[in-house]
Structure 1
């Protein structure tokens, strides 16, 4: 059991909420709460802050991980020294636990004002701002398609790689985008075949590749774009998938792969140069 006598009331009440006090100290705080309105108000604020903090942390755990962080971990960047110093601090354990609760309680109180909505809205959507603006709805649909088809074994593609010439003719006429199937063997990717998809009510070509670990990558494109130049590549992430998109000659292209793939940007540049 914790011994909090002599510490700030916030610390003592935090231990009280967590049920970490001995019987004598808990009885002492019960008596204080029975006679002191300010103490009761502080207790309620801490309880509200704890509940709010738990919900916010749960939401944070489900937020998309930024591509830069995923790649740093993939490449062995690890945790920054500054973060390690914070997490291995020699502060008392109770103080470390109380601080987030007090902060959460303060933020929880702001919910009664107009400022909190903006703060929480910004935190709940923790994604790269640039990626959010460039990601068009068709990429969201491609993400749904990719998650479904990439799990297929016998029916990964609609037309197999052995019919490459037919794929080029078929998809060029269907989508309206002339192209050549990129040879990505030097990138460790084997061409598996192709599919015809639909996004934003338009036909979309999907060229499917597999790497040495069995991960599925795809090149998707459709007619139409926003007029940006072909050398402007935009990255975004949708859960476990990473995307690099660009525009070229009136068409939109995107390379799709696991969000942990470190070479996705380089792969997109290669594809753009040869497709």
Structure 2
């Protein structure tokens, strides 16, 4: 059992909630809560903040990780675990205990502010064009296709790389976009072949590559798309897949690969320059 007599009331109530106090100190706080309305309000706020913050943090853990963060984690300097342990060890036990609740309360306030902003903003809501709100982004379907086809061993592609120029003629006539198959050998990727996909009733060309570790990459393109014309790269992540999309003329393109690949953006730039 913990002894928190003399500590801040927040610390004592935190230990009270966790059931870490001795009988005498718990009885003392019971008596305080019975007569002190402010203490009772603080207790309820700590309970609510903890529950709400934990739920928000749990939801946050299921959100997709931005590619930029993945890249920073992979390339940037790491945290020294020993230094982190030493720093934590130097904190007083009550401080360590109350910190998760302080963080939870902060998350709760942040989300509450976002909710208020949403409510205020909704009063000035402008309706989207009919059908646009329910239209699924084409890269979502590309991600679904990639998860299925990348697991194929004997039927990874429809047309093997040995078909060479025939692939360009076939896909160009099917999709309505002329292109040149990028040579990505210098990037460690071997061309495996191609497939023809269909997204929202439109034909999509897919060029498939494999790296030295056996991971599958794909370049997909269709005529038009669902985004304004722009040659700027947009980075998205779907579970373990990283997707970088852009426009080139009247074509929409997306490069798909492992989200852990820190060089995915650089690879997309090479593809854009050569396709």
Gaps of at least 5 residues in structure 1 are 122-135
Q: Which moved more, 1:31-40 or 1:206-215?
A: 31-40
Gaps of at least 5 residues in structure 2 are 120-135
Where do residues 52-91 of structure 1 align in structure 2 (5 Å cutoff)? Answer: 52-79=52-79, 88=88, 90-91=90-91
- CA–CA distance in 2 between the matches of 1:172 and 1:108? 52
1:92-122: per-residue Cα shift (whole Å, max 9, x none)?
23223324424534664788x7x4405799x
Where do residues 119-134 of structure 1 align in structure 2 (5 Å cutoff)? Answer: none
TM-score normalised over the length of structure 2: 0.82
Post-superposition offset of 1:219: 0.3
Aligned residue in 2 for 1:271: 271
Aligned residue in 1 for 2:9: 9
Post-superposition offset of 1:59: 1.3
- CA–CA distance in 2 between the matches of 1:205 and 1:260? 25
Q: 1:257 to 1:104 in 2, by over 3 A?
A: same
Aligned residue in 1 for 2:28: 28
Q: Which moved more, 1:100-109 or 1:31-40?
A: 100-109
RMSD (Å), alpha carbons: 2.9
Post-superposition offset of 1:40: 2.2
Where do residues 187-266 of structure 1 align in structure 2 (5 Å cutoff)? Answer: 187-224=187-224, 228=229, 230=231, 232-266=232-266
Aligned residue in 1 for 2:159: 159
* Alpha-carbon contact 1:67-1:237 (below 8 Å) kept: yes
- CA–CA distance in 1 between the matches of 2:15 and 2:228? 59
- CA–CA distance in 2 between the matches of 1:159 and 1:54? 50
Aligned residue in 2 for 1:146: 146
Aligned residue in 1 for 2:168: 168
Secondary structure, counterpart of 2:207 in structure 1: strand
Q: Pick from 115, 118, 131 the counterpart of residue 117 of structure 1.
A: 115
* Alpha-carbon contact 1:236-1:243 (below 8 Å) kept: yes
The number of residue pairs the alignment matches comes to 257
* Alpha-carbon contact 2:15-2:21 (below 8 Å) kept: yes
Structure 1 residue ranges (4+ consecutive) displaced by more than 6 angstroms after TM superposition = none
- CA–CA distance in 1 between the matches of 2:14 and 2:64? 31
Aligned residue in 2 for 1:127: none
TM-score normalised over the length of structure 1: 0.82
Post-superposition offset of 1:13: 0.8
